[in-house]
Amino acid sequence: MADRVLIHICCGPCGIYPVETLREEGLELTGFFFNPNIQPFQEYARRRDTAREMADKLGLRLLCKEDYELKSWLRQMAFREEFRCELCYHLRLTETALWAKKGKFDYFSSSIFYSRHQKHELAREVAESVAKEHKVRFLYRDFREGWQKGIERSLEMKLYRQQYCGCIYSEYERYKPADKAREELAG
């Protein structure tokens, strides 16, 4: 019997390569969408729907935590903007670990480890800490080598591809001159 993995999906395009790679390893996957960091709500809904579309096209069962939890996310980030990525990883990976534990999955993982734009080592440290804290095994893979393949597959599937990480801070940094945005967010 194959090990069962609950994989956090941050968005449809980023989920493709990790899902296909882990399946090639013979693992049984279930996706999990929980991303209260994505703003505004219309963007959140579009990414959630795109994750569902990706899951349908790949034949992946996808669980979605239906509560958006924007207020909780904002409360955790306020006045801690310089730590926002770590706090955000912790929030999303903790929820994934708890769902994995409740669902009796063998492991949890995340498509966060696919993106070249994420703070990879920080996310790994957070995931390992969460795994230890909640006594759930974390399956680590560095999926960044498949970056271009994932992009090509998402284009073939005609999936919506977003232009920023998801949070209001990353959107601001994306569209504002980099030095000015960093300066203003640092306070």
Residue 88 sits in a domain of what CATH number? 3.40.50.620
What's the pLDDT at 116? Answer: 93
Tell whether 65 is covered by a domain.
Answer: yes
Tell whether 167 is covered by a domain.
Answer: no
What's the pLDDT at 83? Answer: 95
What's the pLDDT at 186? Answer: 62
Tell whether 64 is covered by a domain.
Answer: yes
Tell whether 173 is covered by a domain.
Answer: no
What's the pLDDT at 165? Answer: 82
Tell whether 139 is covered by a domain.
Answer: yes
Tell whether 176 is covered by a domain.
Answer: no
What's the pLDDT at 45? Answer: 96
Q: Residue 125 sits in which domain range?
A: 4-161
The total number of structural domains in the chain stands at 1
What's the pLDDT at 175? Answer: 79
- Output phi, psi for 138, to 5 deg: -105, 130
Q: Please report how many Cα atoms fall inside a 13 Å half-sphere around the Cα of residue 31, on the Cβ side.
A: 31
Tell whether 177 is covered by a domain.
Answer: no
What's the pLDDT at 182? Answer: 58
Q: What is the pTM of this model?
A: 0.92
Please, what is the Cα angle at 80 between 64 and 68, to 5 degrees? 20
Please, what is the Cα angle at 26 between 117 and 100, to 5 degrees? 65
What's the pLDDT at 172? Answer: 82
Average confidence (pLDDT) per 10 residues, the chain, 187 residues: 96 98 98 96 96 98 94 93 95 98 98 96 98 98 98 97 86 73 60
Please, what is the Cα angle at 62 between 142 and 29, to 5 degrees? 50
- Output phi, psi for 54, to 5 deg: -60, -45
What's the pLDDT at 187? Answer: 60
What's the pLDDT at 47? Answer: 96
Sorted by sequence, the CB contacts under 8 Å of residue 129 that are 6+ apart come out as 90
Tell whether 148 is covered by a domain.
Answer: yes
What's the pLDDT at 164? Answer: 80
Distance CA 85, CA 149 (A): 25
Distance CA 103, CA 97 (A): 10
What's the pLDDT at 173? Answer: 80
DSSP 19-87: HHHHHHTT-EEEEEE--TT--SHHHHHHHHHHHHHHHHHHT-EEEE-----HHHHHHHHTT-GGGHHHH
